[in-house]
Amino acid sequence: MNKEYSVRLVKKEVLGDTCAVLTFSCPEIAEAAKPGQFVNLSCAYFLKRPFGIMCVDKESKTFSVGVRKVGKGTEKIIAAKEGEEFTVLGPLGNGFSFDGVKKLLLIGGGTGIFPIFFATKFAKENGISCQVVNGYRCKNDALLYDQFSCACEQFHVTTDAGDLGVKGNVMAYLETMGDEELADTTCMVVGPGIMMRKVSEWALSKGLTCYVSLEQRMACGIGACLVCVCKIKAEQEGKEFVHKRCCKDGPVFKAEEVIW
């Protein structure tokens, strides 16, 4: 039986002006979580807030999430002090499937880099060949740069400002990749909708398998309330789309199924 866990914030690392990595003590989530899954975390307001899991540490029995201040709820969560108690549901959602994956190309942007970090570590620990391409606004925005550099030998960066890595968005790097390099590659993308859409179109045009992790405003996070649906291509003839639950059926979907 799943539970709502009471968890303690054991560590908070502030990243820049608007982000923080929060680490919570919770043996069950540390043990069970897979890359691409999320937790629903209490805040000072009514509903919980969903965050992609950034990493787990099975030895210290902790999990971490990256949070960007986007509203009042995330502002309160970031303002929390070490030692504070939260309640949490998780791990939630389907997560990425690594079955049969030969080569990985992980692409992150915005707060999507946090779940991409979990996938990056998973690939390293499981000996899966992996490249990471993260898109940032500028050098100062390059969150987890050192951590990614340690976790992945082929870590590439693009910045809109051009002050770090390739100038432009992630497409500026992806379009330089040759077909030979891309052969047998599986893409996993987490980031703003427009980025995931552009990367999906590119990946599918190259014949690559591509997964995206969708985001919607959520309530329960467990599939009961149907507020977080996204449009997925219908299999039934004569029907354009079906509404699937981002929290329960996703958040990870095959790129070719998504109606953007």
Partner 1 sequence: MSIAVKVGQVDLKNPIILASGTCGFGRELSEYMDLSKLGALSSKGLTLLPRDGNQGVRVAETPSGMLNCVGLQNPGVDAFLATELDYMVESGAGVVVNVAGHSNEDYIAMVEKLDPYKDKIDALELNFSCPNVKEGCMVIGSSPKAIEALVSDLRKRTDLPMWIKLTPNVTSIAETAKGAEAGGADAIVAINTMLGMAIDIRTRRPLLHNNTGGLSGPCVKPVALRMVHDIYDAVKIPVVGCGGISTYEDVLEFMIAGASAVELGTITLVHPTRPAEIVEDLAKYCADNGIEELSSLTGTLELWR
For partner 1, the binding residues (CB under 8 A) are 1-4, 45-48, 73, 87, 89, 216-220, 222-229, 231, 241-243, 248
In the complex, what is the shortest distance from the CB of residue 90 to partner 1, in angstroms, rounded to a whole number? 12
In the complex, what is the shortest distance from the CB of residue 18 to partner 1, in angstroms, rounded to a whole number? 17
Q: Between residues 12 and 49, which has the closer beta carbon with respect to partner 1?
A: 49
Q: Determine which helix (DSSP H) or strand (DSSP E) holds 159, and give its type and residue range.
A: strand 154-159
Q: Between residues 80 and 242, which has the closer beta carbon with respect to partner 1?
A: 242
Q: Between residues 3 and 81, which has the closer beta carbon with respect to partner 1?
A: 3
In the complex, what is the shortest distance from the CB of residue 258 to partner 1, in angstroms, rounded to a whole number? 15
Q: Between residues 4 and 13, which has the closer beta carbon with respect to partner 1?
A: 4
In the complex, what is the shortest distance from the CB of residue 253 to partner 1, in angstroms, rounded to a whole number? 17
In the complex, what is the shortest distance from the CB of residue 210 to partner 1, in angstroms, rounded to a whole number? 24
Q: Between residues 74 and 158, which has the closer beta carbon with respect to partner 1?
A: 74
